[in-house]
Amino acid sequence: MSVLTHLDNATARLAQAYAGPGGAVAVLKDGETLTRHAWGFADVDRRLPFTPQTLFRICSITKQFTCGLMLDQTPDPLVLNDAIRARMPLLQGVAPTALHMAHNQSGLRDYWATAMLCGSPVEASFDEAQARHLIALTSSLHFTPGTQYSYCNQNFRLLGDVVAERAGEDFATLLRTRIFDRAGMPSARLCADTSVMPDGTVGYEGTLETGFRPAVNRVHWTGDAGIGASLDDMIAWERHIDATRDDASSLYQRQSAPNRFADGAVARYAFGLGHVEMLGIKGTGHGGGLRGWRSIRFYLPSERISVVVLFNHMADPRRAALDLLAQLVPTPTKSGAGGSATPWEGRYQEPGTGLVVRLEPTREQSVNLHFAGLTPETLGLGRDDEARGGNVLLRRTDAGIRMERTGDNLSGVLIPVTGEAALDVGGVFQSDEYAADFTCVSDGGGVYGAFSGYLGTGLMQPMIPVGTDLWRLPMPRALDHSPPGDWTVRFVREDAGVVAAEIGCWLARRVMFRRSEC
């Protein structure tokens, strides 16, 4: 069979392989569309079909459009620095620049995580005024700007806001006139209100076995994730990228240029684009997600291939994209597993972030690394002293297990966690920075924790002991699609007992809560 026949067959399998209400995919080669396919329903109650013209919430794919607009409006983004700093009047020390934000090197804690510290219910309303207020509370960073990578949504909200303010036009109008019209994307638009789509498309949670239900979202997104676009709009975007591939002055080519951290290490994110590797081929792209919405797009310049996948449910778009890409390029041969004699298992702390690290072996001769977010990273076993996956490498050394995360510019020897967690940790702890409380209750042998603040009162969650004065507080759902996962809670003791709790997650590290005297 021909390559196109294989691609058609793989496309036809998607509706069952990634079962859900609806979806749409496109594959392009050399600027021409090989596959343009949609199936299912944009709204199952109204039996509204999902078509290539259906408006879809592309979520964080928005970030590249925000950065493209910034480069279009401000050839030197550093002119935005003062306006950015003005939105964080309490920030002490060095402030991140516009370029730090565009590269996710700002050191800001992600506001979808800190909103949970401030007590937000998971399906609460979060509007523009609340976003401004939460950003304005910022008084510290969780690393020095330019030194590390950390995904942070408000980087791009801030960029969109200050670009629009400088231009004297609203963000939506600028996107339309400076980006969408030029790329031939007629229906793409800013859809800041996540509770509804202009054409009635619905996003769904659930599974085929449990049933699907409309996802509830009430957050307000702008430059971070607010764009809606159809499959045909995204095809136009991919064709525009390919058509300008040899123009070094084009926005996408400028955004795709190699990037580095302050110490010269190679960075894998710049201007709202991830520098990805798909089946061994280097390219640029981004995924997007909110409850009920999952998407991905990427471009592989050496092959001139683009793939777009849009699901209005929670299936994995990256896997689906790889299924399609595999029909066009050879799948790299995987090296055999090393079959390490010593299991990769244990509990640790990462010294730079203070976060709990858990290693769990799997039956497939790999190890699950629980560290950055809710979903574990699966690392393959090579030699007995190494486990590797993506940009993560674990190595056994004389000093202990060293974790290297090249994409994050983070490395260090993991600290083994020992001892038992004592139960005398109950109390109310306060964060001055976020005007938030952490309430810990020790009752009948169980320990529970919850956050509260100006956004509301969070639910009490059972806490999981890790080691001496070290606990995990699960956070499986949040305002955004990607929840913080586990919060690491480290209780600080003095002679009088517990006096503070340092709390953090991958998106928001090392927030100090002092014990209340009340």
Q: Which residue blocks in 107-201 are alpha helix, DSSP H?
A: 111-117, 128-136, 154-167, 171-174, 181-183
> pLDDT tens-digit profile of 346-370?
999 999 999 999 999 988 789 999 9
Out of 2, 29, 60, 306, pick the active-site residue: 60
All CATH 2.40.128.50 domain ranges of the chain, comma separated, are 346-416, 427-515
Q: Which residues pair with 206 in a beta bridge?
A: 212
Res 217 pLDDT > 80: yes
For the chain, what percent of residues have pLDDT higher than 70?
Answer: 98
Q: What is the reported pLDDT for 339?
A: 54
Measured CA to CA in angstroms, residue 33 lies from 188, 237, 239, 404 at distances of: 19, 12, 9, 39
d(CA 518, CA 515): 9
Measured CA to CA in angstroms, residue 108 lies from 65, 94, 95 at distances of: 21, 12, 9
Out of 29, 63, 106, 366, pick the active-site residue: 63
> pLDDT tens-digit profile of 221-262?
999 999 999 999 999 999 999 999 999 999 999 999 999 999
Q: What is the reported pLDDT for 314?
A: 95
Res 340 pLDDT > 80: no
* pTM (predicted TM-score): 0.95
How high is the mean pLDDT of the chain?
95
> pLDDT tens-digit profile of 439-469?
999 989 999 999 999 999 999 999 999 999 9
Question: Residue 518: which pLDDT band, with cuts at 50, 70 and 90?
Answer: low
Res 514 pLDDT > 80: yes
d(CA 105, CA 84): 14
CATH number, domain 346-416? 2.40.128.50
Res 477 pLDDT > 90: no
Residue 431 is among the residues annotated as catalytic for this protein:
no
d(CA 322, CA 382): 23
Question: Rounded mean pLDDT of 79-100?
Answer: 97
Residue 60 is among the residues annotated as catalytic for this protein:
yes
> pLDDT tens-digit profile of 268-286?
999 999 999 999 999 999 9
Domain 3-63+169-325 has CATH 3.40.710.10: yes
Could you say which DSSP state residue 210 is in?
A: T
Q: Of the ranges 107-116, 331-340, 487-496, which one carries the lowest mean pLDDT score?
A: 331-340
Q: What is the reported pLDDT for 368?
A: 95
d(CA 359, CA 376): 9
Residue 424 and residue 498 in contact, taking contact as beta carbons nearer than 8 Å: yes
Res 177 pLDDT > 60: yes
- The radius of gyration of the chain from alpha carbons, rounded to an integer in Å, stands at 23
Q: What is the reported pLDDT for 483?
A: 76
Q: What is the reported pLDDT for 209?
A: 93
Q: Of the ranges 2-6, 66-70, 140-144, 160-164, which one carries the lowest mean pLDDT score?
A: 2-6
CATH number, domain 427-515? 2.40.128.50
Question: Rounded mean pLDDT of 289-301?
Answer: 97
All CATH 3.40.710.10 domain ranges of the chain, comma separated, are 3-63+169-325
Question: Residue 327: which pLDDT band, with cuts at 50, 70 and 90?
Answer: very high
Res 338 pLDDT > 60: no
